[in-house]
Chains A and B, each alone.
Chain A
Protein backbone atom coordinates (compact mmCIF):
# COMPACT_ATOMS: atom_id res chain seq x y z
CA UNK A 1 0.00 0.00 0.00
CA UNK A 2 2.78 2.38 0.97
CA UNK A 3 4.44 2.12 -2.42
CA UNK A 4 1.15 2.79 -4.19
CA UNK A 5 -0.04 5.77 -2.20
CA UNK A 6 2.40 8.46 -1.14
CA UNK A 7 1.98 9.67 2.43
CA UNK A 8 -0.59 12.43 2.69
CA UNK A 9 0.79 15.60 4.18
CA UNK A 10 -1.68 18.34 5.00
CA UNK A 11 0.94 21.07 4.86
CA UNK A 12 2.50 19.95 1.60
CA UNK A 13 -0.58 18.84 -0.33
CA UNK A 14 -3.23 21.27 0.87
CA UNK A 15 -1.64 24.41 2.34
CA UNK A 16 1.46 24.82 0.22
CA UNK A 17 -0.33 25.04 -3.17
CA UNK A 18 -2.27 28.03 -1.87
CA UNK A 19 0.72 29.81 -0.38
CA UNK A 20 4.03 29.28 -2.13
CA UNK A 21 2.48 27.64 -5.18
CA UNK A 22 -0.42 30.05 -5.58
CA UNK A 23 0.73 31.25 -9.02
CA UNK A 24 0.12 27.99 -10.76
CA UNK A 25 -2.55 26.68 -8.38
CA UNK A 26 -4.96 29.48 -9.05
CA UNK A 27 -4.76 29.22 -12.83
CA UNK A 28 -5.17 25.44 -12.79
CA UNK A 29 -8.07 25.47 -10.36
CA UNK A 30 -9.79 28.28 -12.23
CA UNK A 31 -9.35 26.41 -15.49
CA UNK A 32 -10.85 23.26 -14.02
CA UNK A 33 -13.74 25.19 -12.55
CA UNK A 34 -14.50 27.02 -15.79
CA UNK A 35 -14.36 23.81 -17.84
CA UNK A 36 -16.57 21.91 -15.41
CA UNK A 37 -19.05 24.77 -15.14
CA UNK A 38 -19.41 25.31 -18.88
CA UNK A 39 -19.57 21.60 -19.61
CA UNK A 40 -21.78 20.81 -16.64
CA UNK A 41 -24.39 23.46 -17.35
CA UNK A 42 -24.75 22.38 -20.97
CA UNK A 43 -24.53 18.74 -19.97
CA UNK A 44 -27.66 19.13 -17.88
CA UNK A 45 -29.63 19.74 -21.04
CA UNK A 46 -27.98 16.78 -22.76
CA UNK A 47 -29.04 14.58 -19.85
CA UNK A 48 -32.58 15.94 -19.93
CA UNK A 49 -32.80 15.31 -23.67
CA UNK A 50 -31.31 11.83 -23.29
CA UNK A 51 -28.51 12.91 -25.56
CA UNK A 52 -25.58 12.33 -23.24
CA UNK A 53 -23.80 10.42 -25.98
CA UNK A 54 -23.99 13.34 -28.37
CA UNK A 55 -21.47 15.10 -26.14
CA UNK A 56 -19.24 12.10 -26.59
CA UNK A 57 -19.76 12.22 -30.33
CA UNK A 58 -18.97 15.90 -30.65
CA UNK A 59 -15.89 15.73 -28.49
CA UNK A 60 -14.47 13.02 -30.73
CA UNK A 61 -15.38 14.53 -34.06
CA UNK A 62 -13.66 17.75 -33.08
CA UNK A 63 -10.53 15.87 -34.06
CA UNK A 64 -11.86 15.63 -37.62
CA UNK A 65 -12.41 19.38 -37.65
CA UNK A 66 -8.84 19.95 -36.55
CA UNK A 67 -7.65 17.51 -39.21
CA UNK A 68 -9.48 19.34 -41.98
CA UNK A 69 -8.23 22.68 -40.71
CA UNK A 70 -4.66 21.39 -40.71
CA UNK A 71 -4.89 20.02 -44.23
CA UNK A 72 -6.55 23.10 -45.67
CA UNK A 73 -4.68 25.87 -43.89
CA UNK A 74 -1.70 24.29 -42.15
CA UNK A 75 -2.54 26.52 -39.26
CA UNK A 76 -3.31 25.77 -35.71
CA UNK A 77 -4.11 29.16 -34.24
CA UNK A 78 -7.05 29.55 -31.96
CA UNK A 79 -9.62 31.11 -34.34
CA UNK A 80 -8.99 28.41 -36.96
CA UNK A 81 -9.37 25.72 -34.33
CA UNK A 82 -12.58 27.24 -33.09
CA UNK A 83 -14.18 27.46 -36.50
CA UNK A 84 -13.02 23.97 -37.44
CA UNK A 85 -14.36 22.49 -34.24
CA UNK A 86 -17.63 24.33 -34.56
CA UNK A 87 -18.05 23.05 -38.11
CA UNK A 88 -17.19 19.52 -37.01
CA UNK A 89 -19.65 19.69 -34.15
CA UNK A 90 -22.48 20.89 -36.36
CA UNK A 91 -21.56 18.35 -39.04
CA UNK A 92 -21.80 15.58 -36.44
CA UNK A 93 -25.21 16.78 -35.34
CA UNK A 94 -26.38 17.00 -38.92
CA UNK A 95 -25.02 13.57 -39.87
CA UNK A 96 -26.72 12.01 -36.85
CA UNK A 97 -30.02 13.64 -37.80
CA UNK A 98 -29.76 12.61 -41.44
CA UNK A 99 -28.86 8.98 -40.71
CA UNK A 100 -31.56 8.76 -38.10
CA UNK A 101 -34.23 10.37 -40.25
CA UNK A 102 -33.58 8.82 -43.65
CA UNK A 103 -32.59 5.30 -42.70
CA UNK A 104 -33.98 2.81 -40.27
CA UNK A 105 -30.93 3.18 -38.05
CA UNK A 106 -31.88 4.29 -34.54
CA UNK A 107 -30.52 7.45 -32.98
CA UNK A 108 -27.99 5.80 -30.67
CA UNK A 109 -26.57 3.72 -33.51
CA UNK A 110 -26.51 6.83 -35.73
CA UNK A 111 -24.43 8.59 -33.07
CA UNK A 112 -22.05 5.64 -33.03
CA UNK A 113 -21.64 5.80 -36.81
CA UNK A 114 -21.25 9.57 -37.07
CA UNK A 115 -18.56 10.15 -34.50
CA UNK A 116 -16.42 7.12 -35.13
CA UNK A 117 -16.26 7.89 -38.85
CA UNK A 118 -15.45 11.54 -38.27
CA UNK A 119 -12.89 10.58 -35.65
CA UNK A 120 -11.30 8.16 -38.11
CA UNK A 121 -11.19 10.83 -40.81
CA UNK A 122 -9.51 13.12 -38.31
CA UNK A 123 -6.93 10.48 -37.46
CA UNK A 124 -6.15 9.94 -41.15
CA UNK A 125 -5.84 13.63 -41.98
CA UNK A 126 -3.68 14.41 -39.00
CA UNK A 127 -1.40 11.44 -39.53
CA UNK A 128 -0.97 12.47 -43.18
CA UNK A 129 0.24 15.91 -42.18
CA UNK A 130 1.95 15.09 -38.95
CA UNK A 131 5.37 15.82 -40.42
CA UNK A 132 4.44 19.39 -41.27
CA UNK A 133 2.43 20.42 -38.26
CA UNK A 134 2.90 19.36 -34.72
CA UNK A 135 -0.24 18.04 -33.14
CA UNK A 136 -0.01 16.13 -29.96
CA UNK A 137 -2.80 13.58 -30.31
CA UNK A 138 -2.18 12.47 -26.75
CA UNK A 139 -2.88 16.03 -25.69
CA UNK A 140 -6.06 16.16 -27.77
CA UNK A 141 -7.34 12.98 -26.17
CA UNK A 142 -6.13 13.30 -22.63
CA UNK A 143 -5.40 17.01 -22.24
CA UNK A 144 -2.75 18.63 -20.15
CA UNK A 145 -4.00 20.93 -17.45
CA UNK A 146 -0.54 21.27 -16.00
CA UNK A 147 0.47 23.34 -19.05
CA UNK A 148 -2.21 25.90 -18.34
CA UNK A 149 -0.23 28.24 -16.09
CA UNK A 150 2.00 29.20 -18.99
CA UNK A 151 1.49 32.93 -18.72
CA UNK A 152 1.70 33.78 -22.36
CA UNK A 153 -0.19 37.02 -22.08
CA UNK A 154 1.75 40.05 -20.90
CA UNK A 155 0.71 43.69 -20.68
CA UNK A 156 2.96 46.46 -19.42
CA UNK A 157 1.24 48.87 -17.11
CA UNK A 158 2.27 52.35 -16.13
CA UNK A 159 3.89 52.34 -12.67
CA UNK A 160 0.94 54.25 -11.21
CA UNK A 161 -1.59 51.74 -12.58
CA UNK A 162 0.58 48.82 -11.50
CA UNK A 163 0.68 50.30 -8.02
CA UNK A 164 -3.09 50.41 -7.95
CA UNK A 165 -3.41 46.86 -9.28
CA UNK A 166 -0.91 45.71 -6.65
CA UNK A 167 -3.42 46.58 -3.95
CA UNK A 168 -5.99 44.11 -5.36
CA UNK A 169 -6.27 40.72 -3.69
CA UNK A 170 -3.83 38.02 -4.75
CA UNK A 171 -2.01 40.44 -7.00
CA UNK A 172 1.09 38.24 -6.89
CA UNK A 173 -0.75 35.88 -9.23
CA UNK A 174 -1.17 38.31 -12.08
CA UNK A 175 1.35 41.09 -11.46
CA UNK A 176 5.11 40.78 -12.17
CA UNK A 177 6.77 44.11 -11.49
CA UNK A 178 4.86 46.47 -13.74
CA UNK A 179 3.61 43.71 -16.05
CA UNK A 180 0.16 42.23 -15.99
CA UNK A 181 0.53 38.54 -16.80
CA UNK A 182 -2.25 36.11 -17.48
CA UNK A 183 -2.83 32.58 -18.71
CA UNK A 184 -4.84 33.33 -21.86
CA UNK A 185 -6.39 29.86 -22.02
CA UNK A 186 -7.89 30.34 -18.59
CA UNK A 187 -9.23 33.77 -19.44
CA UNK A 188 -10.76 32.41 -22.63
CA UNK A 189 -12.34 29.47 -20.83
CA UNK A 190 -13.65 31.93 -18.26
CA UNK A 191 -15.40 33.86 -21.00
CA UNK A 192 -16.82 30.65 -22.45
CA UNK A 193 -18.16 29.58 -19.05
CA UNK A 194 -19.64 33.02 -18.50
CA UNK A 195 -21.23 32.96 -21.95
CA UNK A 196 -22.75 29.54 -21.28
CA UNK A 197 -24.13 30.67 -17.93
CA UNK A 198 -25.59 33.81 -19.50
CA UNK A 199 -27.16 31.91 -22.40
CA UNK A 200 -28.67 29.34 -20.05
CA UNK A 201 -30.10 32.22 -18.03
CA UNK A 202 -31.38 34.20 -21.02
CA UNK A 203 -32.91 31.24 -22.83
CA UNK A 204 -34.04 29.36 -19.74
CA UNK A 205 -37.68 29.10 -20.89
CA UNK A 206 -36.80 28.15 -24.45
CA UNK A 207 -34.34 25.46 -23.36
CA UNK A 208 -36.71 24.10 -20.74
CA UNK A 209 -39.81 23.78 -22.87
CA UNK A 210 -38.06 22.54 -26.01
CA UNK A 211 -36.31 19.85 -23.95
CA UNK A 212 -39.51 18.80 -22.19
CA UNK A 213 -42.00 18.92 -25.04
CA UNK A 214 -40.81 20.05 -28.48
CA UNK A 215 -44.33 20.03 -29.94
CA UNK A 216 -45.58 22.32 -27.19
CA UNK A 217 -42.55 24.55 -27.73
CA UNK A 218 -43.58 24.83 -31.34
CA UNK A 219 -47.13 25.85 -30.44
CA UNK A 220 -45.64 28.54 -28.20
CA UNK A 221 -43.70 29.98 -31.12
CA UNK A 222 -40.37 28.46 -30.01
CA UNK A 223 -38.60 26.58 -32.77
CA UNK A 224 -37.24 23.47 -31.06
CA UNK A 225 -35.08 22.61 -34.06
CA UNK A 226 -33.28 25.94 -33.89
CA UNK A 227 -32.80 25.46 -30.15
CA UNK A 228 -31.41 21.99 -30.83
CA UNK A 229 -28.81 23.19 -33.32
CA UNK A 230 -27.91 26.21 -31.20
CA UNK A 231 -27.32 23.88 -28.27
CA UNK A 232 -25.11 21.66 -30.43
CA UNK A 233 -23.16 24.67 -31.72
CA UNK A 234 -22.57 25.90 -28.19
CA UNK A 235 -21.58 22.40 -27.15
CA UNK A 236 -18.98 22.31 -29.94
CA UNK A 237 -17.51 25.63 -28.81
CA UNK A 238 -17.34 24.48 -25.21
CA UNK A 239 -15.80 21.16 -26.14
CA UNK A 240 -13.05 22.72 -28.24
CA UNK A 241 -12.24 25.27 -25.57
CA UNK A 242 -12.12 22.58 -22.94
CA UNK A 243 -10.36 19.72 -24.65
CA UNK A 244 -6.96 21.39 -24.73
CA UNK A 245 -6.87 21.25 -20.98
CA UNK A 246 -8.88 18.20 -19.97
CA UNK A 247 -8.80 16.33 -23.27
CA UNK A 248 -11.58 15.15 -25.53
CA UNK A 249 -12.33 12.04 -23.51
CA UNK A 250 -12.52 13.71 -20.13
CA UNK A 251 -14.73 16.46 -21.54
CA UNK A 252 -17.40 13.79 -21.78
CA UNK A 253 -17.09 13.15 -18.06
CA UNK A 254 -17.28 16.86 -17.34
CA UNK A 255 -20.43 17.09 -19.45
CA UNK A 256 -22.27 14.40 -17.55
CA UNK A 257 -20.90 14.08 -14.00
CA UNK A 258 -21.89 17.49 -12.54
CA UNK A 259 -25.41 17.33 -13.94
CA UNK A 260 -25.93 13.69 -13.06
CA UNK A 261 -24.83 14.39 -9.48
CA UNK A 262 -27.14 17.38 -9.23
CA UNK A 263 -30.05 15.30 -10.57
CA UNK A 264 -29.61 12.91 -7.67
CA UNK A 265 -29.99 15.73 -5.19
CA UNK A 266 -32.88 17.75 -6.54
CA UNK A 267 -35.92 17.55 -8.77
CA UNK A 268 -36.05 21.27 -9.59
CA UNK A 269 -34.16 22.50 -12.61
CA UNK A 270 -32.96 25.83 -11.14
CA UNK A 271 -31.61 24.03 -8.07
CA UNK A 272 -30.01 21.42 -10.30
CA UNK A 273 -28.23 24.13 -12.28
CA UNK A 274 -26.92 25.71 -9.06
CA UNK A 275 -25.78 22.33 -7.73
CA UNK A 276 -23.99 21.70 -11.02
CA UNK A 277 -21.85 24.77 -10.45
CA UNK A 278 -21.23 23.68 -6.86
CA UNK A 279 -20.17 20.25 -8.09
CA UNK A 280 -17.83 21.93 -10.57
CA UNK A 281 -16.19 23.97 -7.81
CA UNK A 282 -15.86 21.15 -5.27
CA UNK A 283 -14.80 18.57 -7.83
CA UNK A 284 -12.08 20.86 -9.15
CA UNK A 285 -10.72 21.71 -5.70
CA UNK A 286 -10.74 18.12 -4.49
CA UNK A 287 -9.34 16.92 -7.78
CA UNK A 288 -6.51 19.42 -7.69
CA UNK A 289 -5.43 18.35 -4.22
CA UNK A 290 -5.80 14.70 -5.14
CA UNK A 291 -3.45 15.30 -8.06
CA UNK A 292 -1.00 17.18 -5.85
CA UNK A 293 -1.02 14.34 -3.36
CA UNK A 294 -0.72 11.48 -5.87
CA UNK A 295 1.39 13.50 -8.31
CA UNK A 296 -0.84 12.25 -11.13
CA UNK A 297 -2.75 13.59 -14.14
CA UNK A 298 -4.71 16.63 -13.01
CA UNK A 299 -7.50 16.14 -15.53
CA UNK A 300 -7.87 12.54 -14.42
CA UNK A 301 -8.00 13.64 -10.80
CA UNK A 302 -10.73 16.21 -11.58
CA UNK A 303 -12.90 13.46 -12.98
CA UNK A 304 -12.18 11.01 -10.17
CA UNK A 305 -13.04 13.67 -7.61
CA UNK A 306 -16.24 14.44 -9.51
CA UNK A 307 -17.05 10.73 -9.48
CA UNK A 308 -16.42 10.70 -5.72
CA UNK A 309 -18.93 13.50 -5.28
CA UNK A 310 -21.41 11.58 -7.42
CA UNK A 311 -21.06 8.54 -5.17
CA UNK A 312 -21.44 10.73 -2.10
CA UNK A 313 -24.63 12.24 -3.53
CA UNK A 314 -25.93 8.78 -4.32
CA UNK A 315 -25.29 7.74 -0.74
CA UNK A 316 -26.74 10.83 0.89
CA UNK A 317 -29.48 12.07 -1.45
CA UNK A 318 -32.62 12.87 0.58
CA UNK A 319 -34.95 11.18 -1.92
CA UNK A 320 -33.17 8.40 -3.76
CA UNK A 321 -30.09 8.09 -1.59
CA UNK A 322 -28.95 4.71 -0.40
CA UNK A 323 -29.02 5.92 3.21
CA UNK A 324 -32.51 7.36 2.80
CA UNK A 325 -33.75 4.08 1.32
CA UNK A 326 -32.18 2.10 4.09
CA UNK A 327 -33.55 4.44 6.71
CA UNK A 328 -37.04 4.31 5.24
CA UNK A 329 -37.04 0.55 5.11
CA UNK A 330 -36.00 0.36 8.77
CA UNK A 331 -38.62 2.85 9.87
CA UNK A 332 -41.48 1.92 7.63
CA UNK A 333 -44.46 3.50 9.30
CA UNK A 334 -47.53 4.27 7.26
CA UNK A 335 -49.97 6.88 8.35
CA UNK A 336 -53.61 6.12 7.64
CA UNK A 337 -54.99 8.38 4.89
CA UNK A 338 -57.12 11.26 6.16
CA UNK A 339 -59.75 10.84 3.50
CA UNK A 340 -60.24 8.68 0.49
CA UNK A 341 -60.55 10.94 -2.54
CA UNK A 342 -61.73 9.90 -5.98
CA UNK A 343 -58.18 10.06 -7.33
CA UNK A 344 -55.75 8.58 -4.84
CA UNK A 345 -52.35 10.23 -4.98
CA UNK A 346 -49.85 7.98 -6.67
CA UNK A 347 -46.13 7.51 -6.16
CA UNK A 348 -44.45 7.53 -2.81
Chain B
Protein backbone atom coordinates (compact mmCIF):
# COMPACT_ATOMS: atom_id res chain seq x y z
CA UNK B 1 0.00 0.00 0.00
CA UNK B 2 2.57 2.56 1.12
CA UNK B 3 5.27 3.78 -1.25
CA UNK B 4 8.08 3.72 1.29
CA UNK B 5 8.35 0.29 2.91
CA UNK B 6 7.46 1.02 6.52
CA UNK B 7 4.68 3.49 6.87
CA UNK B 8 4.71 4.87 10.42
CA UNK B 9 1.02 5.64 10.42
CA UNK B 10 -0.30 2.31 9.24
CA UNK B 11 -1.68 0.23 12.10
CA UNK B 12 -0.32 -3.29 12.61
CA UNK B 13 -1.63 -5.94 10.20
CA UNK B 14 -3.08 -8.04 12.97
CA UNK B 15 -4.00 -7.31 16.56
CA UNK B 16 -5.74 -9.49 19.12
CA UNK B 17 -6.93 -8.07 22.39
CA UNK B 18 -8.13 -10.25 25.26
CA UNK B 19 -9.53 -12.75 22.77
CA UNK B 20 -11.47 -15.67 24.20
CA UNK B 21 -13.21 -18.28 22.09
CA UNK B 22 -15.17 -21.24 23.41
CA UNK B 23 -16.95 -24.16 21.81
CA UNK B 24 -19.91 -25.29 23.90
CA UNK B 25 -18.73 -23.29 26.94
CA UNK B 26 -15.32 -24.97 26.86
CA UNK B 27 -12.70 -22.29 26.19
CA UNK B 28 -10.34 -23.12 23.36
CA UNK B 29 -8.54 -19.79 23.27
CA UNK B 30 -8.12 -17.77 26.42
CA UNK B 31 -7.06 -14.15 26.84
CA UNK B 32 -5.03 -13.83 23.66
CA UNK B 33 -3.19 -10.50 23.46
CA UNK B 34 -1.01 -10.16 20.40
CA UNK B 35 0.25 -7.63 17.94
CA UNK B 36 1.80 -9.02 14.77
CA UNK B 37 4.13 -6.55 13.05
CA UNK B 38 4.14 -6.01 9.31
CA UNK B 39 6.30 -8.11 7.00
CA UNK B 40 6.75 -10.99 9.44
CA UNK B 41 6.74 -14.68 8.70
CA UNK B 42 5.23 -16.12 11.87
CA UNK B 43 5.06 -19.82 12.67
CA UNK B 44 2.21 -20.94 14.90
CA UNK B 45 3.30 -23.91 16.98
CA UNK B 46 1.33 -26.00 19.43
CA UNK B 47 0.01 -29.51 20.08
CA UNK B 48 -3.12 -30.94 18.46
CA UNK B 49 -6.16 -29.21 19.85
CA UNK B 50 -4.15 -26.20 21.01
CA UNK B 51 -6.47 -23.86 19.14
CA UNK B 52 -4.25 -23.00 16.17
CA UNK B 53 -6.94 -23.44 13.55
CA UNK B 54 -9.40 -21.74 15.88
CA UNK B 55 -7.10 -18.73 16.19
CA UNK B 56 -7.01 -18.39 12.40
CA UNK B 57 -10.76 -18.77 12.09
CA UNK B 58 -11.33 -16.23 14.82
CA UNK B 59 -8.95 -13.80 13.14
CA UNK B 60 -10.92 -14.19 9.92
CA UNK B 61 -14.20 -13.51 11.66
CA UNK B 62 -15.52 -17.02 11.02
CA UNK B 63 -16.31 -17.71 14.67
CA UNK B 64 -18.25 -15.85 17.35
CA UNK B 65 -15.90 -14.39 19.97
CA UNK B 66 -16.71 -14.76 23.65
CA UNK B 67 -14.70 -11.70 24.53
CA UNK B 68 -12.07 -9.37 23.15
CA UNK B 69 -11.54 -8.22 19.60
CA UNK B 70 -9.49 -8.74 16.49
CA UNK B 71 -8.33 -5.92 14.26
CA UNK B 72 -6.85 -6.18 10.81
CA UNK B 73 -4.91 -3.08 9.82
CA UNK B 74 -6.63 -1.24 12.62
CA UNK B 75 -10.15 -2.05 11.48
CA UNK B 76 -12.62 -4.77 12.40
CA UNK B 77 -12.10 -7.79 10.18
CA UNK B 78 -15.33 -7.17 8.23
CA UNK B 79 -13.90 -3.95 6.80
CA UNK B 80 -10.57 -5.35 5.75
CA UNK B 81 -11.47 -8.94 4.98
CA UNK B 82 -10.41 -8.53 1.37
CA UNK B 83 -6.86 -7.83 2.50
CA UNK B 84 -6.75 -11.32 4.01
CA UNK B 85 -5.69 -14.41 2.08
CA UNK B 86 -6.41 -17.90 3.31
CA UNK B 87 -4.96 -21.35 2.82
CA UNK B 88 -7.22 -23.80 4.66
CA UNK B 89 -6.29 -27.22 5.97
CA UNK B 90 -6.40 -29.38 2.88
CA UNK B 91 -9.08 -31.72 4.17
CA UNK B 92 -11.51 -28.83 4.62
CA UNK B 93 -12.78 -28.93 1.03
CA UNK B 94 -14.35 -31.57 -1.21
CA UNK B 95 -11.76 -32.49 -3.83
CA UNK B 96 -14.38 -34.19 -5.99
CA UNK B 97 -15.84 -30.79 -6.78
CA UNK B 98 -16.33 -30.37 -10.54
CA UNK B 99 -13.76 -27.62 -11.10
CA UNK B 100 -10.35 -27.52 -12.73
CA UNK B 101 -7.09 -26.41 -11.17
CA UNK B 102 -7.40 -23.13 -13.11
CA UNK B 103 -10.95 -22.59 -11.80
CA UNK B 104 -9.73 -22.95 -8.21
CA UNK B 105 -6.91 -20.46 -8.68
CA UNK B 106 -9.29 -18.03 -10.40
CA UNK B 107 -11.47 -18.14 -7.27
CA UNK B 108 -8.65 -16.21 -5.64
CA UNK B 109 -9.43 -13.37 -8.07
CA UNK B 110 -13.15 -13.21 -7.21
CA UNK B 111 -12.51 -10.64 -4.50
CA UNK B 112 -11.26 -8.29 -7.23
CA UNK B 113 -14.29 -8.80 -9.48
CA UNK B 114 -17.62 -7.07 -9.24
CA UNK B 115 -21.03 -8.70 -9.32
CA UNK B 116 -21.66 -10.61 -12.57
CA UNK B 117 -18.12 -10.01 -13.77
CA UNK B 118 -16.29 -13.02 -15.11
CA UNK B 119 -12.49 -13.32 -14.71
CA UNK B 120 -10.80 -11.22 -17.41
CA UNK B 121 -7.73 -12.02 -19.47
CA UNK B 122 -5.68 -10.18 -16.89
CA UNK B 123 -7.09 -12.35 -14.09
CA UNK B 124 -6.26 -15.44 -16.11
CA UNK B 125 -2.73 -14.20 -16.66
CA UNK B 126 -2.29 -13.60 -12.94
CA UNK B 127 -3.69 -17.05 -12.17
CA UNK B 128 -1.31 -18.59 -14.70
CA UNK B 129 1.66 -16.76 -13.12
CA UNK B 130 0.67 -18.04 -9.71
CA UNK B 131 0.39 -21.60 -11.02
CA UNK B 132 3.80 -21.22 -12.63
CA UNK B 133 5.27 -20.12 -9.29
CA UNK B 134 4.11 -23.32 -7.63
CA UNK B 135 5.08 -25.34 -10.72
CA UNK B 136 1.53 -26.45 -11.37
CA UNK B 137 0.93 -24.74 -14.72
CA UNK B 138 1.02 -28.04 -16.67
CA UNK B 139 -1.91 -29.19 -14.54
CA UNK B 140 -4.05 -26.09 -15.14
CA UNK B 141 -6.83 -27.95 -16.93
CA UNK B 142 -6.91 -30.98 -14.66
CA UNK B 143 -9.94 -31.84 -12.62
CA UNK B 144 -8.87 -31.27 -9.01
CA UNK B 145 -9.69 -34.80 -7.86
CA UNK B 146 -6.88 -36.08 -10.09
CA UNK B 147 -4.22 -34.40 -7.96
CA UNK B 148 -1.98 -35.81 -5.28
CA UNK B 149 -2.05 -34.31 -1.80
CA UNK B 150 1.07 -32.21 -2.36
CA UNK B 151 -0.30 -30.94 -5.66
CA UNK B 152 -3.54 -29.96 -3.96
CA UNK B 153 -1.55 -28.02 -1.41
CA UNK B 154 0.28 -26.17 -4.20
CA UNK B 155 -3.01 -25.29 -5.87
CA UNK B 156 -4.24 -23.79 -2.60
CA UNK B 157 -1.04 -21.79 -2.37
CA UNK B 158 -1.42 -20.55 -5.94
CA UNK B 159 -4.97 -19.50 -5.15
CA UNK B 160 -3.76 -17.55 -2.11
CA UNK B 161 -1.11 -15.85 -4.25
CA UNK B 162 -3.81 -14.88 -6.76
CA UNK B 163 -5.72 -13.19 -3.95
CA UNK B 164 -2.89 -10.62 -3.76
CA UNK B 165 -3.64 -10.04 -0.08
CA UNK B 166 -1.58 -8.19 2.49
CA UNK B 167 -1.86 -10.74 5.24
CA UNK B 168 -2.02 -14.52 4.82
CA UNK B 169 -3.27 -17.25 7.10
CA UNK B 170 -2.05 -20.71 6.21
CA UNK B 171 -3.23 -23.75 8.11
CA UNK B 172 -0.62 -26.51 7.86
CA UNK B 173 0.52 -25.86 4.29
CA UNK B 174 3.30 -28.42 4.77
CA UNK B 175 1.05 -31.27 5.87
CA UNK B 176 1.70 -34.33 3.75
CA UNK B 177 3.93 -32.72 1.12
CA UNK B 178 7.25 -34.06 -0.08
CA UNK B 179 10.61 -32.36 0.53
CA UNK B 180 10.69 -30.69 -2.90
CA UNK B 181 7.23 -29.18 -2.46
CA UNK B 182 8.07 -28.12 1.08
CA UNK B 183 11.12 -26.17 -0.02
CA UNK B 184 9.17 -24.67 -2.95
CA UNK B 185 6.53 -23.46 -0.49
CA UNK B 186 9.17 -22.05 1.86
CA UNK B 187 10.72 -20.10 -1.02
CA UNK B 188 7.33 -18.61 -1.87
CA UNK B 189 6.68 -17.68 1.76
CA UNK B 190 9.99 -15.82 1.86
CA UNK B 191 9.19 -14.05 -1.42
CA UNK B 192 5.87 -12.90 -0.02
CA UNK B 193 7.58 -11.68 3.13
CA UNK B 194 10.09 -9.75 1.03
CA UNK B 195 7.13 -7.99 -0.61
CA UNK B 196 6.02 -6.76 2.81
CA UNK B 197 3.24 -9.30 3.31
CA UNK B 198 2.51 -10.62 6.77
CA UNK B 199 2.18 -14.39 7.06
CA UNK B 200 0.88 -16.61 9.84
CA UNK B 201 1.61 -20.25 9.19
CA UNK B 202 0.53 -23.21 11.31
CA UNK B 203 3.38 -25.68 11.43
CA UNK B 204 3.84 -28.99 13.20
CA UNK B 205 7.45 -29.96 12.71
CA UNK B 206 9.65 -28.48 15.41
CA UNK B 207 13.10 -29.02 13.88
CA UNK B 208 12.16 -27.17 10.67
CA UNK B 209 10.12 -24.53 12.48
CA UNK B 210 13.22 -22.84 13.76
CA UNK B 211 14.67 -22.73 10.24
CA UNK B 212 11.64 -21.44 8.41
CA UNK B 213 10.24 -18.68 10.60
CA UNK B 214 11.40 -15.26 11.85
CA UNK B 215 9.08 -15.40 14.80
CA UNK B 216 7.17 -18.11 16.53
CA UNK B 217 3.88 -18.07 18.31
CA UNK B 218 3.75 -20.85 20.88
CA UNK B 219 0.12 -21.55 21.51
CA UNK B 220 -1.76 -23.83 23.84
CA UNK B 221 -5.10 -22.23 24.59
CA UNK B 222 -3.09 -19.24 25.83
CA UNK B 223 -0.12 -17.58 24.22
CA UNK B 224 2.83 -19.34 25.82
CA UNK B 225 5.31 -17.12 24.03
CA UNK B 226 5.55 -14.89 21.00
CA UNK B 227 8.76 -13.41 19.69
CA UNK B 228 11.81 -13.85 17.48
CA UNK B 229 12.55 -17.52 16.88
CA UNK B 230 15.91 -17.52 18.62
CA UNK B 231 14.35 -16.07 21.78
CA UNK B 232 11.28 -18.29 21.82
CA UNK B 233 12.59 -21.66 20.66
CA UNK B 234 13.67 -22.68 24.16
CA UNK B 235 13.30 -25.99 25.92
CA UNK B 236 11.27 -24.73 28.86
CA UNK B 237 8.89 -22.69 26.69
CA UNK B 238 8.34 -25.59 24.31
CA UNK B 239 7.87 -27.88 27.27
CA UNK B 240 5.11 -25.73 28.70
CA UNK B 241 3.53 -25.48 25.25
CA UNK B 242 3.42 -29.23 24.79
CA UNK B 243 2.64 -29.82 28.45
CA UNK B 244 4.62 -32.92 29.37
CA UNK B 245 3.84 -35.10 26.40
CA UNK B 246 6.79 -37.43 26.38
CA UNK B 247 7.22 -38.24 22.73
CA UNK B 248 7.00 -34.60 21.82
CA UNK B 249 9.32 -33.63 24.64
CA UNK B 250 12.11 -35.90 23.51
CA UNK B 251 11.64 -34.48 20.02
CA UNK B 252 11.87 -31.02 21.48
CA UNK B 253 14.95 -31.87 23.44
CA UNK B 254 16.57 -33.16 20.30
CA UNK B 255 15.59 -30.10 18.30
CA UNK B 256 16.96 -27.75 20.92
CA UNK B 257 20.13 -29.74 21.25
CA UNK B 258 20.61 -29.70 17.48
CA UNK B 259 20.37 -25.97 17.58
CA UNK B 260 23.10 -25.39 20.15
Contacts and interface: CB of A to CB of B under 8 A. Distances in A.
- Bin chain B's interface residue count: 35 or more
Contact of B60 (A218, A345, A346): A218
Interface in A203-237: 203, 205, 208-209, 211-213, 215-216, 218-222
Interface centre among A208, A219, A222, A268 (most CB of B within 10 A): A219
A348 interface: yes
A275 to B, nearest CB: 11
A103 to B, nearest CB: 10
Interface residues on A, range: 20 to 34
B107 A216 contact: yes
A102 to B, nearest CB: 9
Interface stretch (B32-40, B93-101, B202-210, B212-220): B93-101
A269 interface: yes
Given A205-B110, A212-B93, A213-B88, A267 B151 contact: no
Contact of A268 (B86, B98, B148): B98
A212 B107 contact: yes
Contact of B94 (A50, A202, A220, A268): A50
Contact of A202 (B99, B116, B151): B116
Interface in B103-133: 103-104, 107-108, 110-111, 113, 115-116, 118
20 contacts: A48-B98, A205-B107, A205-B118, A209-B107, A211-B97, A212-B93, A212-B99, A215-B88, A216-B86, A218-B60, A219-B163, A268-B99, A268-B100, A269-B99, A272-B98, A342-B180, A343-B150, A345-B148, A346-B147, A348-B146
Given A205-B113, A212-B93, A216-B107, 10 more contacts: A50-B94, A205-B107, A205-B110, A212-B97, A213-B93, A219-B60, A219-B81, A267-B100, A269-B98, A343-B150
Interface string B173-202: 000001011000000000000000000000
B82 interface: yes
Nearest to A50: B94
A347 interface: yes
Contact of A215 (B62, B110, B147): B62
A213 B82 contact: no
B61 interface: yes
Contacts of B62: 215, 218
Interface of B: 57, 60-62, 81-82, 84-86, 88, 92-94, 97-100, 103-104, 107-108, 110-111, 113, 115-116, 118, 139, 143, 145-148, 150-151, 159, 163, 165, 178, 180-181
Nearest to B181: A343
A146 B200 CA distance: 62
A343 B60 contact: no
A267 B98 contact: yes
A263 interface: yes
Contacts of A269: 98-99, 103
Contact of B115 (A202, A218, A219, A342): A202
Contacts of B92: 213, 215
A266 interface: yes
B100 to A, nearest CB: 7
